[in-house]
Structure formats: C-alpha cells, structure tokens
Structure 1
Amino acid sequence: MERSNKEVALLIKHVIDYLKSKKISQQDIESRINYTSLSKAKNLDKYPQPVIEKKTRAELLALLFEEFSLFYNEANERVESMEGATIKTNLSDVQYFIMHYYAFARGVVDRALVQVVNKRKVIMDYRIQEHWEGTYNVVENYTFIEVTKMGYATPVKKLLSLFSGTMKYGHNYLLGTYSTVKRDGFPAAGRVILEKAKTKTEADLILNRDSDYRIVGYLKDNVYLTKLSTPKDLDDIVSTHHNHYLKLVGAYKFIIPTKQNSWSMTELIIKKDFSAYMEINDVQYDGYASFININVLNLKFTRKKQDSISIRKQILNMHINVRRTSDNHVYTCAASSPIIHGEPSAFSAYLVLHSNFKKKLLDNLEQRIFLAKPLD
C-alpha cells in the first residue's frame, strides 16, 4: 500500500516512540541506522522536503522496519515487532576489515582499519593520522562504502565500490576501487582490497605487518590522478605534444623481421584519440600511444576484448623515433614482443605511411633481431 508523505512521517514517529518504549533512545536509533535527521523526518510540517539526508521518508521507514524487525499492524493500527524477533539494545555487531591500498605519494602499499557497525556505519582509521566515518550499503552483488574525513574544515569524501557477489557477507577478501581526493589535493582513483579479520586483535596484527606480496603486486601503481586545473577548452586536457602527435595520425605498413631473414608486414592504424589498432594472423590488437619525450612515441598493444582485470597478454611494445623520418618517410622503431616470433624477442621494426609504401623500400632496411632462446 502506497502511503502519503504525511502518513509516512507519522509512522516514523510511531516507530521512534515504540523503540523508546523498549529503552532504545533516539540517539541509539540514529547510530544503528547511521542516520542523524530523525527529528526532521518525523516533523513534516516544519521539514516538508521529500528527501532528507539522501533518503525519502519511505526509504527511511523501510530501513527502520528492517533494522529493528518491525511492521505496522493495519488491523490494530500500531507498530509491532515481528514474531520471534528480539530487538538488540546495543551496538554489538562489529565486523573488522583491513583495507589495503597503494599510497601513491609514498610509493608503498599501506593499510587502514575498517570497522563496520551493524552493517550500517563505517569507521575507517589509517595508520597515518586520518579518521573517516560513513555508511555501508550492500546493493545486489555490490558493496558500497562512503566515508567522510573527520576533523577537517573542508569535508573530503571517499567512495569504495566492491564486488561481493551473491553471498553478501562473510567473504575473506573483497576487491574493488576507490575514488577520493588525496592529501595534496589531487582527485584520485585506484584499486583496493578489503581483508576480513575475525577480531579486533587480529585486525591490529594485520594492520601493522606488511601486506602480502600478492596484494602488493595487485595494487602497486594502479592509481589514476587528474589535473588540478579547469580547462578553458579541450586542448588543455591533452598532451603538450598533441600537435606533434596529430602529424603522426594515419594508416601505416608495419614491417618486422622474421626468423627466416625475410619481412612480415601488417596494417597498423594510429588514431587521433591516442589509440592504435592492428591485426596479426586474424587476431585483432588494440594499442595506446604516449610520448616518452618529444622525440619518442611509445605504442603498447594488447589483445582486443580481454578482461581488463586479468593479466593482459601484451603482444607488442615499441618505441618509435619520431624526431624525423628517412628520405623515404620511414620511421624506425625499437620493439619487443613475447609471442610474435614464437619466443621472447627484441627487434628493429619500421613504420611507413601506407600512401608512401613501395616494395623496393625493403631493400634498404636492416634486419636486427634477438631471440631469447632457452639454453641447452
């Protein structure tokens, strides 16, 4: 049955009164559900806004019913406890986690203690002097933690998005990402791992010892930062070498040496959006372009449509000398690949604009290849 906003506000008042009769104060109720505006929610005349503290009154009423195992008996027109339910009068349900994260400024994987109280409230304490508090929500297969740094004039928030699967609680490890603002003011995002501890004592032990090497390998360098600027136009967000890069956009013949002292050629396309594309043996590969410096362009290729979370199979890494081309408009490259030659290899390669390619160019190219063959 859909209730009006006025009816829901009145029911919220009835719930609070009922819980108070069970020796649970309004402050304890707010702590249990991690909500601080019950006085506003039950007073529709003074606070008529439909959403208070990010919840509608209907959502708040549902939360109160769920947390305290209550329902509204329409026949008796009163709030009652569900059959067999016992209302807890203290905050005894605390889960302990250690959050492993990559501390970009210090270049180390560090840890923070995360306490989840009654599956609602989150208390997060870093090993450095930072204290955060916020909310814990499980929605379908995902767990969300939103916290605010306490004790600062300017509120800084952090959002953790974690995959918890069909089993919502009880996992030893949760994988996810965070988004926040770093201590130096840079907006940042990266990976996190939450490791469950059985007790506060166990949590303290994990907190103060080094993270497992497998955790370090998973988290290290997986941080993304954005600039502290407000661009006037889109040119401000691209590389300082962008104009130079635009001259390199186009379709190329990519020429690599074979183990049989011949040449292998494939089409390679460099796009405006700093991406690249090529196809080898009917398999498609995507690449990303970035400047090492004004004279060297780096292209990294991986197999298309691979799971970005898994270890990606890097097919090719190449550094292209773009300072100048030869008289025949040939770019020279130093390249390496774990699979192109059937075994790890480093080799010289060449890029020629498709429109400039002539087969006789191959006569002037030098073959250099090193194969990492196993020792006998």
Structure 2
Amino acid sequence: MNSIPMPTDETALEELLSRPGDGVGEALADLGGDIVLLGAGGKIGPSMATMARRALDSVGSSARVIAVSRFSDPAAAEQLEQVGVQVHRADLAVSESYPELPEAAGVFYLAAMKFGTSAAEHQTWWSNAAIPVLVADRYRGVPTMVYSTGNVYPLTPVVRGGSVETDDPAPVGEYAQSALARERLFTNAAHRWGTPTLVYRLNYACELRYGVVADIAATMAAGEAVDVTMPAVNVAWQGDISSWALQSIGAADVPPTILNATGPETVSVRRIATLLGEEMGVEPIFSGEEAADALLSDAGLCHEMFGYPSIGLRQLVRWVGRWVADGGRQLGKATKFQQREGKF
C-alpha cells in the first residue's frame, strides 16, 4: 500500500509536487551541464524547476537549473532562488530577449497559451507557433523537451482506449491547431539543425488545487451539476508528470520522439464525481448525456519507460475531495475538460 501521507497545507503540497522520482537526477546529470526551463513561471514550472534542483543535488551534480520567465509574481522567483534555482527574467515573446538567454546542455520548453484563446486567437498563435521558432533558433542542437498536449488528437471512441503516439493528429479548435504548429516547428528545427527533441503530449495533470479532479470537486462543493457530456478522461498526479518530463529528455532524438503522458486508467467523469462525493459527503448532481467518444490518450509507452504513477487514481481523488471539503485553496484555472469544440 502507498504510504505517502496526504499533504495538509500548501508547503507540504509543494514539497511533494517537487519530490523527484527515481532516475530523474541521473537523467539530468547525463546532459553534462546546465538545464534551462523556459516559461517556468506558470502552473507547473516552479515545482518542476525545484524538482530538477533537488534531483541534481541528490546525485551530487553542481549543474545549474535556470528558470526563465517574466516572473510577474516576484514571490515565485524568490521561492525558486531560495531552493537554489537561478532565475532569469525574460519575455520570450520579445525577440530582443534571446541573445541574453543562458547557455544550456538541455532545454525544457513549458511556454504555452491555452485559456482565453477563443477571445485572443492572434495571441494564441503568437505564443504557440511564433515563440517556438525563436526558441528553436536560439538553442540549435541542444536537447529539447517540448511540452505539448493530447488536444492534438481527435476525440476517440471510449472503447478504443485512447490515442497512441503513432496516430495521426486531428486537432479541433485553434488552441489545438496552434499546439500542433508548435510541434511541427520544433520538428523542423530538429531536422534542420540536428536538435534532439522530445514532444511531450500531456492530458491531464492533477494536483489538489488544479486539474480535472479539482474542477469536478469544486463544482460539487458549489452545489452545481457535473457535466458528463465528455464521458471519460485520463489523469495523473502532477508530481509524476514532472518527474517523467524531466527524465524524458534522455529520449530526445532526430526525428523527434513523441511521448504521451497521463495516467493508465480511462476513468469515467461520473465515477470520479461518485468517488469524490463519498469523500466530501456530497451527493453529485449530473447534467448532459455521455457521448460515445472523448479526448483520451494511451500512455503505455511512458509507463514502460518510467513506471506507473506514485500516486494512484483513488488516492488522488480522496486527497482532492478532502482538500476541497476542508476549504483548501484552488488556483482558479479550470481545465475546461468538458469542452468538445476546442474553444478554450
């Protein structure tokens, strides 16, 4: 049985989210130099940068971990510096920033725009398709892990078990289309400049303050109906997602390696709500009718490479239910997993 206790406050939660899994330190040390995380000021960047620092320390490596972002929140930058991560303030949307970006033995590209895209498509395409050109040019030949999304896949029949890496993309909506453009541009750079690249297609990362499970729990806590039109999802603990992502750079190649990242289960939205209700003492209310297809990914290759999640689905759901029932803070960034038309 998993003996990891539930985090009871945000300090303990951040410690667990940044706790490196087996093999992370060795994978980063094998790069032979400093690592740079671009767009490290978002939801996952701070804990992922902290994990990288802890992992390198665990294997006795003095390689620097450098987090690059505008860092509009000074507290986030200060917290990173306190754990030994070097902070480099830069706006990746501005081409003049690039000559000053630090040298690297490995690059992790986390920058993206998803939410608000339906009202600002021009910004979406600049963020997801123009910035990658600038990044790929700056870091020619440097092993690069590129965060992407399972949204590049089409909706697939639930009975099929999810898209695999060799399936043809068929993105729905401008966010997903621009995400595929990001992949294609980094792929071009890989071929043009011999840049080893790994494309990391994620859906969905969850922690206690954010993610599909937290979205459903918050809906239930507010007494609102859970929409089951998107009938099923894949989810995984954010700490495992970061741990796999950091290790995955060792599989970067030309042409790029594609890797799905999510949990092993295809779980119904109705089941998640039912399990949450048991923990929260709330009877779920449902709306809509389950469709026959959903946005699903098969991450079997990822699990074969790096193992199964350290925090299982039932444990994650229990933790989120208890956190929300106890009034724990939410990040206020809904995943909009229910969206079937690609409008975010």
Q: Whose radius of gyration is greater, 1 or 2?
A: 1
Higher strand share: 1
Higher relative contact order (CA 8 A, sep 6+): 2
Higher helix share: 2
User: Normalising TM by the smaller chain, what interval?
Assistant: under 0.3
